[in-house]
Amino acid sequence: MNHADARSAAVPRPCGRGTLYLVPNLLGAVPPQDVLPARTIAVARDLSHWIVETAKPARAFLATLGLPRPVAACWMREIGEQPSAAQLAALLAPAHDGHDVGVLSDAGCPGVADPGARVVAAAHAAGLRVVPLVGPSSLLLALMASGMNGQRFAFHGYLPADEPGRVAALRRLEAESRATGCAQLFIETPYRNVALLACCLRTLAAATRLCVAVDLTLPGESVTSRPVRAWRGVDAAVYAKRPAIFLLEAAVRPAPARS
């Protein structure tokens, strides 16, 4: 039995229609077998139809898998920033024609902090089978390694790039964390990491815990989680131009004493 037969036998699919597989991408230049399960690699190798965030990194990833066909022979379409209903229908057309289709982010898990979520929602609306495959998620890896609240957490994407907006956002996240105990996750374009870290150290309370996780799953991986007061004096330049996840968790203030 080949991989396609095994997939179709595992879970009944709608008659005549393909399955949408959510295929995690690598977080950097490492051998796929170092971070991806054998099943994820096997399923990805079988797929010849792809919906991707960006074509160039998608082709680079597929080239590492040793496909049984040239990467250029694969049907591949980019999602775009704000795909319309008609564009989403066109992306999913191969699945309606019976082809299994892979969804691929530029890095990490599709549908999480990328436009793949729109494709997944459209697939569900169309009654297509959706299957998530196992692979690296930088957000979950960073949260796991941070020591922060894994029961309650929130991801906020990019904070404002301007200083006043960034300061306001950090103060809002810190206040929310202090009130709820929720860990707050956010990211930045790698060339702005140093500026964001500096802003965190100027803005956050000394007891607030701050974590910076960089190069996850890569040889230079580093995760540092400590109170802001213990970050003072750290050379922020070591985080320049490296893929990073930032997390904060505010110290819970004791309740006022009753008189």
103 and 150 co-located in one domain = no
56 and 161 co-located in one domain = no
For residue 4, what pLDDT is reported?
A: 46
Angle, helices 193-203 vs 163-180, to 10°: value is: 60
Out of 80, 111, 132, a domain closes at 132
The contacts of residue 259 (CB under 8 Å, 6+ apart) are none
Say if 169 falls within a structural domain: yes
Reduce the DSSP state of residue 147 to 3 states and report it. Answer: coil
Say if 256 falls within a structural domain: no
125 and 58 co-located in one domain = yes
User: In terms of C-beta density within 10 A (0-12 exposed, 13-18 middle, 19 or more buried), how is residue 130 classed?
Assistant: middle
For residue 257, what pLDDT is reported?
A: 57
Output helix, strand, coil percentages for the chain, rounded to the nearest 5.
Answer: 40, 20, 40
For residue 9, what pLDDT is reported?
A: 37
Sole residue written with tokens 């049907």: 75
Say if 172 falls within a structural domain: yes
Domain that holds residue 11: 3-132
CATH number for 125: 3.40.1010.10
171 and 243 co-located in one domain = yes
107 and 51 co-located in one domain = yes
111 and 156 co-located in one domain = no
Q: How many domains does the chain have?
A: 2
For residue 114, what pLDDT is reported?
A: 86
Say if 232 falls within a structural domain: yes
d(C-alpha 246, C-alpha 29), whole Å: 21
149 and 108 co-located in one domain = no
d(C-alpha 253, C-alpha 50), whole Å: 49
Say if 185 falls within a structural domain: yes
CATH number for 170: 3.30.950.10
Reduce the DSSP state of residue 238 to 3 states and report it. Answer: helix
Do the beta carbons of residue 131 and residue 232 sit within 8 Å? no
Say if 217 falls within a structural domain: yes
215 and 185 co-located in one domain = yes
- Rounded to the nearest 5°, which phi and psi values hold at 37? -65, 155
119 and 150 co-located in one domain = no
113 and 179 co-located in one domain = no
65 and 173 co-located in one domain = no
pLDDT by 10s per residue, the chain, length 259: 344 444 443 444 556 899 999 999 999 999 999 999 999 999 999 999 999 999 999 999 999 999 999 999 999 999 998 999 999 999 999 999 999 999 999 999 999 888 999 999 999 999 999 999 999 999 999 999 999 999 999 999 999 999 999 999 999 999 999 999 999 999 999 999 999 999 999 999 999 999 999 999 999 999 999 999 999 888 889 999 999 999 999 976 555 556 5
